[in-house]
Structure 1
Amino acid sequence: MKTFKLSKKYTKYLLLVGLFLLFMGLSAMAVIGNWEPISLGLIITGIVAIGIWIVLQGSNDLTSPAQEFWGRRSTQTGTNAAFAMLAFVVILGLINFLGNRYNYRLDLTENNLFTLSPATQQLVRNLNQPVKLWIFDRTQYPQDKELLENYRRQGANFSFEYVDPNSNPGLAKKFGVKDVGEVYLESGEKRKYLQKVKETELLSEQTLTNAIQEIRSDRTAKVYFLQGHGERNLETKEGSLSEAVQTLKDKNFQVETFKLTESKEVPKDANLVVIAAPQQALFADEITALKEYQKRGGSLLVTVDKKTKASELEPILQDWGIKIDDRLVVNASEFQVRSLGPTAALVSSYGNHPITQDFKNRYSFYPDARSIELVKDFKDEKNIKATPLLFTSEQSWAESNLDKIEFNAESDRQGPLILGIALSRSIESATPQPSPTPNQENKSDKPLQETRMVVLGNTDFATDGFFSQQINGDVFLNSISWLSQQDDRLLSISPKEQKNRRLNMTFLQASLLAWLSIIIVPFLGLVIAGYLWWRRR
């Protein structure tokens, strides 16, 4: 009898163990999504334990048959509870399984803040080859990760990965990462730099979708550097632009040099032409060829140095109402670039333009720079849109006598001065371009509607050694990107902003609300409760 009591005492725990194992097995199966040995073993063990408990309940009572055990009210109640729990576990497991297999999200926000636009959804679903986003940062901002998860749910060919550049320097070097937070898009052999993410500048659907649209296109912007007049060399040597050129290639630009005296015209596949600090004047036929290139929508980037004569560039710039000052800019502020002295102009003020819109108060510097002047009212007469890009401080001036650096109101020009300017002009008759050859994949399918030009009063800022300092390289790269005129392929995606639902209250209204919620309403509740207690006492 003692053995029977002991066995009956512990058999009830067998049921609990069996139900627990069964629940764990079904939960593991629901999370994993398929039948794994672990989840299957837990389920089988739990069923066996429950079966043993049932058998022992019928055989432990030697004085009563099994029918008497199952006829008990307690047995029936326990069995019903067990089946109800089992049904609950099965239903919960099925819900988790279906939720994991068939993902569905419902965005109830007013502006669908967490839903990608139809254009983005279609673009990601139709990707015919893998596209991967690389974020070189240890910090994973929740807003960015939620946005990227939305992209990944739309198509299997989109993926993203966070990489710590300090832990994986080889991969960071492969992409040319210079700072933590840089974001790159990769598809096959193509790589495209997007932006640098930080808490105040997160990823946006507009930026990411248009980057995917660009990188999946067969078009590649082609940059031609004019040579033959003492322009800056592109090969590695002192004062060359080799670092800038290599960065352009890393950003998926094609870079070539050409001489107008040999080609007679600007190549048809040129997205833009760079004239980097010529030391001699261009021939008349070269000037004509460049003007013809601009008439059909071509873009120019013109930079000068202290040896470039303004008169030699005048035939190109006069049609845009631009003049180059021969005087060098002097920086007389207390903060100067070390080892460069006062003739290195320091800029922290930028114009409102796509080239400089993200610079804010960041620094760039320009050794031996020259200021740029706009002819008064010229841009209005010629329908030219001109936007100054770079402004020096008020503690600067254009110095005419470098032997004695001292401001002279009669011969010098007081700052702030303009060191860079972006110009655009509509094309009166946009004629379709010739059909591209197999080597001209970068041409647009529709004619360009405007011609663009950027004029910078300095070239040294983009040369080897200076290019990677501060945001000098960003000024050069952003100018090239804007001039390449690839924005005709960008999708129009309006940024989504959460509507302001704040309730603006006066001090009196806020005080009244605080008294009502903290003191008056709770006090009335206590009074009513006390009155009811006293009535029922």
Structure 2
Amino acid sequence: MKTFKFSNKSTKYLLFVGLFLLFMGLSAMAVIGNWEPISLGLIITGIVAIGIWLVLQGNNDLTSPGQAFWGKRSTQAGTNAAFAMLGFVVILGLINFLGNRYNYRLDLTENNLFTLSPETQQLVRNLNQPVKVWIFDQTQSPQDKELLENYRRQGANFSFEYVDPNNNPGLAKKFGVKDVGEVYLEVGEKRQYLQRVREAEPLTEQTITNAIQQIKSDRTAKVYFLQGHGERSLETKDGSLSEAVQALKDKNFQVEPLKLAETKEVPKDATLVVIAAPQQALFEAEVTALKEYQKRGGNLLVTVDKNTKSSGLEPILQDWGIGIDDRIVVNDSEFQVSALGKTAALVSSYGNHPITEGFQNRYSFYPSARAINVVKLIENVKSTPLLLTSEQSWAESNPDQIEFNAESDRQGPLILGIALSRPIESATPQSSPTPNQQNKSDKPLQETRMVVLGNTDFAVDGLFSQQINGDVFLNSISWLSQQDDRLLSISPKEPKNRRLNITTLQASFLSWLSIIIVPFLGLLIAGFMWWRRR
């Protein structure tokens, strides 16, 4: 019987075909992402072809023992190398599988720059409902993304998402996004604006952690708007503050009207009281109640307009050393006159204060505003101007004939808003709180605060959303609510400066040492070793 024999020349093509099919199948599986019939068929066909080649090689060895394929030293060495490579690939795959399944990070930086503080880790791990950070920006900052990834690793209830506001305008409108780069925190039905990310203002652990702490807190700041003296309405109508009220509710504030003449005292749960342009004077008893409220740590936001002449608030303002100018602020800037009119003060200069942080070079405007005067300095009262007009503005005594008169008018810059604070005179409330109130209360406030703005129209419906008018109002409320007394103390982490301050001579020596001297010594040693071996 004649035996059919395959030559090595013919069988080697079978090996190439098998390897090609195996490579194509693995590539198709990698591209598709799962085991499809096509990729699986290619892989199986390739393995079968390689197996047939191995069998034929073994048959050829039986007919030519002297040229046995498996007995060759090169075959044994190649087989050992193949198994070693296969073992290496298997071990590497297992390491990657375990690393992906059991993720562990080791921060070797001196100040643990890439590790969240213990307070943050505990807060995120104990979240009992989903918390999500929305970044409305088409570009993703690696630094911000790495920080948010650190938060997500701490708990399953934390997540974040980048959204392009141009591609998803509906979601951007839902959050009230005004500028690209704004960041919002969402917890259930509550949403809170965090900041606008820029190259100079990246996200920080302090910002995110304290925002989570505030929005999930059981304590809700309650804002009372004084009513009964012609103040701006809280309901939707001309000249009302309904947009501002809705914005406060969106930021988790409770808003209530306050008729102080009927209650006779400010409610104990009031975080602050807003007095928005009263048109008639307050009763003396109301002024006394407001002063008592401030003595025990209460906070006030006072806004006036061109019609507010005698509001009865003078005793309160005098206690802080300030007064309201009766003249209307006007401006002679061509741009302002063409865009807003002469009697709308345009502001782009702001004081250094938490309320106006990040406002520089951004516009807000105030129709028919009145300037704030610092009448005298009061001991323990800290005052910071917030809104400053340009040098082209002045306080006009005759609005019917706008023309600067050095005798009766006052040249700018003028102060349109001021923030004041002072230590609490008496931390003891008029009536002792109940045991339940004591258990729920946070640490006592350390100071009483007041913000006085020489305008109210900037926050009315229609103007509230223009430029950064709304930000001025909302930031004033946030600062007055003193929510920062509940913030976690998280120290910022900064890399230590490890630079070496060396002289020009030392730098030159190091260059010669690394580029010339050390390589030359290595060349000499190599030459010496070569000469000795000869």
TM-score (norm 1): 0.87
Distance 2:291 2:41 in 1: 79
Residue 120 of structure 1 and its aligned partner are, at CA, apart by: 1.1
Distance 2:243 2:189 in 1: 21
Q: Which residue of structure 2 lines up, in the alignment, with residue 482 of structure 1? A: 479
Distance 1:251 1:280 in 2: 31
- Structure 1 residues 104 and 530, CA gap change in structure 2 (3 angstroms): closer
Q: Which moved more, 1:401-410 or 1:258-267?
A: 401-410
Q: Which residue of structure 2 lines up, in the alignment, with residue 220 of structure 1? A: 220
Distance 2:391 2:365 in 1: 15
Aligned counterpart for 2:493 among listed residues 490, 493, 496? 496
Q: Please tell me whether the aligned partners of residues 329 and 343 of structure 1 are also in contact (alpha carbons under 8 angstroms).
A: yes
RMSD of equivalent CA atoms: 3.7
Aligned counterpart for 1:4 among listed residues 3, 7, 12? 7
SS at match of 1:329: strand
Amino acid at match of 1:128: N
- Structure 1 residues 516 and 271, CA gap change in structure 2 (3 angstroms): same
SS at match of 2:312: helix
Residue 330 of structure 1 and its aligned partner are, at CA, apart by: 2.0
Q: Please tell me whether the aligned partners of residues 136 and 164 of structure 2 are also in contact (alpha carbons under 8 angstroms).
A: yes
Paired residues for 1:2-401 under 5 Å: 3-13=6-16, 16=19, 51-64=51-64, 68-310=68-310, 312-336=312-336, 338-378=338-378, 380=379, 383-401=380-398
Residue 107 of structure 1 and its aligned partner are, at CA, apart by: 2.0
The C-alpha deviation readout for 1:194-242, integer Å capped at 9, x for no partner, is 1111222221111011011111212222211111000011222222212
SS at match of 2:192: strand
Q: Please tell me whether the aligned partners of residues 22 and 42 of structure 2 are also in contact (alpha carbons under 8 angstroms).
A: no
Distance 1:347 1:441 in 2: 44
Residue 443 of structure 1 and its aligned partner are, at CA, apart by: 6.7
Q: Which moved more, 1:126-135 or 1:345-354?
A: 345-354
The reply to whether residue 418 of structure 1 matches residue 384 of structure 2 is: no
Q: Please tell me whether the aligned partners of residues 18 and 47 of structure 2 are also in contact (alpha carbons under 8 angstroms).
A: no
Q: Which residue of structure 2 lines up, in the alignment, with residue 469 of structure 1? A: 466
Structure 2, gaps ≥5 residues long? none
Structure 1, gaps ≥5 residues long? none
Q: Please tell me whether the aligned partners of residues 165 and 171 of structure 1 are also in contact (alpha carbons under 8 angstroms).
A: yes
Residue 394 of structure 1 and its aligned partner are, at CA, apart by: 2.0
Distance 2:42 2:509 in 1: 56
SS at match of 1:355: helix
Q: Please tell me whether the aligned partners of residues 218 and 441 of structure 1 are also in contact (alpha carbons under 8 angstroms).
A: no
Distance 1:52 1:204 in 2: 62
Amino acid at match of 1:10: Y
SS at match of 1:336: helix
- Structure 1 residues 270 and 491, CA gap change in structure 2 (3 angstroms): same
Distance 1:531 1:57 in 2: 49
Q: Which moved more, 1:169-178 or 1:475-484?
A: 169-178
TM-score (norm 2): 0.87
Number of equivalences: 527
Residue 477 of structure 1 and its aligned partner are, at CA, apart by: 0.7
Distance 1:67 1:515 in 2: 61
SS at match of 1:335: helix
Residue 323 of structure 1 and its aligned partner are, at CA, apart by: 0.8
Q: Please tell me whether the aligned partners of residues 328 and 369 of structure 1 are also in contact (alpha carbons under 8 angstroms).
A: yes
The C-alpha deviation readout for 1:479-522, integer Å capped at 9, x for no partner, is 01011111111011122223334455677777x47974898669
Q: Which residue of structure 1 lines up, in the alignment, with residue 400 of structure 2? A: 403
Q: Please tell me whether the aligned partners of residues 302 and 451 of structure 2 are also in contact (alpha carbons under 8 angstroms).
A: yes
The C-alpha deviation readout for 1:416-461, integer Å capped at 9, x for no partner, is 2211111112224424772497xx9997423222211100011111
Q: Please tell me whether the aligned partners of residues 181 and 196 of structure 1 are also in contact (alpha carbons under 8 angstroms).
A: yes
Residue 342 of structure 1 and its aligned partner are, at CA, apart by: 2.0
Distance 1:67 1:429 in 2: 105
Distance 1:521 1:4 in 2: 61
Residue 253 of structure 1 and its aligned partner are, at CA, apart by: 1.7
Q: Please tell me whether the aligned partners of residues 233 and 241 of structure 1 are also in contact (alpha carbons under 8 angstroms).
A: yes
Distance 1:132 1:441 in 2: 32
Q: Which moved more, 1:418-427 or 1:35-44?
A: 35-44
Distance 2:369 2:514 in 1: 66
Quote the sequence identity (%): 79
SS at match of 2:167: coil
Q: Please tell me whether the aligned partners of residues 280 and 311 of structure 2 are also in contact (alpha carbons under 8 angstroms).
A: no
Distance 2:438 2:279 in 1: 33
Amino acid at match of 1:384: V
